């Protein structure tokens, strides 16, 4: 084969690969790919200068050309180091190689003018640069480590072996070689394996790059999975991660008749913490509670942040009584701990045991009902929902609405307490408690109604509300009717349900919606 045709082939192959890496570098905008692109461009320029020997000054055709090709080989190792984030700087020893090579090629060209010497030295330095590639590669761990590692070692050793053979051919050549463009076997051999390895080097670099991208993609997917299934504040599993796990546990519980219990708890009066000390302190409280709970849950149990200040524990192989014991230990640990800025805190717990063939929704209704009862019966307690206990026909709770805000914090706080006391009565009523059990709650509600009405009248008077006298008359009428009903209940002339209905529906909700809303525009303006 004509040596000129081979040199032209090498130039074409190098140009195609250089363009490929330039496109990759422009698209990806990564420094390592830019180094690879620069290396392939340098190699193409070097081979063009070598092919033009005899028509160019000796400095360009011999010295510059060989320097560019050696830079190409070193750039493969340098780009690998950059992509692997080992070190972005050009290693000092690479500069030493280039400096020694520049001195050697200059002497071999300008002083000795020996093609043989230049060629042997060139192959020696190329082998050294190939070893540098292996050194860089050994410091990284691609995702396809075994395949990529074997490929890199096989290629580099084969490349070094072929250059070693070239050295032997040069030293044992019977004829006098005058230049690289002579139609001699050793030159044909050199250009042939150079064209082959230009493609192989490019392929290996792309394989390493793909392995790196694959590893990075795996890391990002893992991060996304962690973000999707972990709570960022506390580090616990989040609500999203619960579904699949709980479905599997419930199926196993039903199939093998194994106990499974769920504990739900939340921080008592957590809103007051955020309102008083700020959300940063509230976040620290949630973190500390998660640490306390993590230390107490057992190996098979799973702890989740359910949302806001609510947490959930899934306890396999645990019946209702065992779960209540676990919840009580956790309640005592929270109560006995000290929280920075806040001091002492408490939490309320609801516990339920999974029933055979029961779905997640029904089980959570019972857990939620247990927690609801714990909070409405004084908080800082554990309430279990029995296996034979039935849910109330309806679950009723009066939730605070934004349109009930008067614009005055003291009045709104009083209204919120009224709603909490009313919700406690509703819970007792739905639990089918008798009149005697309802009376203490109704008396507490009535006492707060009297206090709140007095405070509200004082605030409206201080604000100069023109309708304060008429509003006070409404208060007195409602209090009087409530007291009359209470006396009739005690005398046995009226049922507790009638007093309950009047206090919740007429005094609290009805009065707040119909009468209090009249002065909201005034208080908001003040």
Question: Can you tell me which residue has the tokens 């990564």?
Answer: 30
Per DSSP, the three-state class of 180 is: coil
Strand order in the sheet with 260-267: 237-238, 302-307, 310-316, 260-267, 347-353, 382-385
Task: Write phi, then psi, for 29 (nearest 5 degrees).
Answer: 55, 45
118 and 63 Cβ atoms separated by less than 8 Å: no
Is 309 one of the catalytic residues? yes
Quick one: tokens of 109? 């060209």
Closest to 458 in 3D by CA, of 450, 467, 449, 468: 468
310 and 264 Cβ atoms separated by less than 8 Å: yes
Measured CA to CA, the distance from residue 135 to residue 328 in angstroms comes to 60
C-alpha distances in Å from residue 111, one per residue of 59, 117, 179, 262, 352 = 12, 11, 16, 89, 94
Q: What is the greatest pairwise CA distance in the chain? A: 132
Quick one: tokens of 239? 């609500």
Measured CA to CA, the distance from residue 385 to residue 320 in angstroms comes to 8
Question: Can you tell me which residue has the tokens 């034979």?
Answer: 388
Q: Which of 216, 225, 258, 309 is catalytic?
A: 309
303 and 311 Cβ atoms separated by less than 8 Å: yes
Measured CA to CA, the distance from residue 170 to residue 183 in angstroms comes to 14
21 and 46 Cβ atoms separated by less than 8 Å: no
Residue 24 per-residue DSSP state: H
Closest to 158 in 3D by CA, of 188, 138, 130: 130
Q: Tally the C-alpha atoms within 13 A of residue 342's C-alpha that lie toward its C-beta.
A: 30
Beta bridge partners of 343: 339
Q: For the stretch 241-264, what's the b/e string if a residue is b when 16 or more beta carbons lie within 10 angstroms of its beta carbon?
A: bbeeebeebbeebbeeeebbbbbb
127 and 94 Cβ atoms separated by less than 8 Å: no
Compute the C-alpha angle 141/144/148, nearest 5°.
Answer: 80
Output the CA torsion 491→493→494→495 (10° steps): 70
Task: Write phi, then psi, for 116 (nearest 5 degrees).
Answer: -60, -45
Quick one: tokens of 480? 């009087």
Residue 402 per-residue DSSP state: G
Provide the annotated active-site residues: 309
């Amino acid at each position: 084969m004509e040596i000129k045709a081979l040199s032209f082939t090498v130039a074409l192959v190098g140009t195609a690969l250089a363009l490929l890496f330039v496109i990759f570098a422009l698209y990806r905008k990564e420094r390592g790919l830019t180094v690879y692109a620069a290396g392939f461009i340098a190699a193409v320029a070097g081979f063009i200068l070598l092919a033009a020997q005899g028509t160019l000054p000796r400095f360009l055709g011999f010295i510059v050309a060989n320097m560019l090709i050696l830079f190409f080989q070193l750039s493969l190792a340098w780009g690998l180091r950059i992509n692997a984030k080992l070190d972005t700087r050009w290693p000092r020893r690479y500069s030493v190689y280039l400096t020694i090579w520049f001195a050697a090629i200059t002497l071999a060209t300008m002083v000795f003018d020996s093609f043989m010497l230049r060629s042997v030295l060139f192959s020696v330095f190329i082998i050294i640069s190939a070893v540098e590639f292996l050194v860089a590669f050994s410091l990284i761990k691609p995702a396809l480590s075994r395949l990529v590692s074997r490929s890199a070692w096989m290629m580099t050793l084969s490349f070094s072996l072929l250059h070693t053979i070239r050295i032997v051919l040069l030293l044992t050549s019977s004829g006098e070689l005058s230049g690289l463009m002579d139609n001699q076997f050793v030159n044909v051999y050199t250009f042939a394996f150079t064209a082959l390895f230009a493609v192989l080097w490019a392929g290996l670099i792309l394989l390493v790059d793909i392995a790196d991208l694959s590893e990075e993609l795996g890391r990002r997917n893992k991060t996304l999975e962690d973000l999707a299934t972990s709570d960022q504040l506390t580090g616990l599993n989040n609500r999203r991660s619960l579904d699949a796990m709980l479905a599997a546990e419930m199926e196993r519980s039903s199939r093998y008749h194994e106990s499974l219990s769920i504990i739900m708890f939340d921080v008592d009066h957590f809103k007051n913490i955020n309102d008083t000390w700020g959300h940063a302190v509230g976040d620290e409280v949630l973190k500390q509670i998660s640490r306390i709970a993590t230390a107490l849950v057992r190996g098979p149990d799973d702890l989740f942040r359910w949302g806001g200040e609510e947490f959930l524990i899934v306890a396999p192989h645990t019946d209702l009584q065992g779960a209540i014991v676990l919840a009580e230990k956790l309640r005592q640990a929270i109560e006995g701990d000290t929280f920075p800025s806040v001091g002492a805190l408490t939490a309320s717990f609801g516990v339920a045991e999974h029933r055979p063939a029961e779905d997640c929704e029904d089980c959570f209704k019972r857990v939620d009902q247990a927690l609801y009862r714990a909070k409405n019966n004084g908080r800082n307690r554990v309430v279990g929902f029995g296996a034979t206990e039935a849910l109330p026909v309806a679950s009723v709770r009066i939730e605070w609405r934004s349109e009930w805000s008067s614009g005055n914090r003291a009045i709104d706080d009083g209204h919120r307490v009224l709603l909490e006391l009313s919700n406690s009565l509703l819970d007792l009523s739905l639990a089918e408690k008798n009149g005697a059990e309802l009376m203490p709650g109704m008396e507490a509600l009535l006492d707060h109604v009297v206090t709140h009405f007095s405070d509200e009248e004082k605030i409206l008077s201080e604000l100069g509300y023109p309708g304060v006298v008429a509003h006070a008359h409404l208060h007195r009428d409602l209090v009087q009717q409530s007291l009359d009903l209470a006396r009739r209940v005690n005398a046995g002339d009226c049922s507790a349900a009638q007093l309950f209905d009047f206090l919740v529906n007429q005094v609290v909700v009805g009065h707040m919606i119909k009468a209090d809303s009249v002065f909201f525009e005034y208080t908001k303006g003040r």
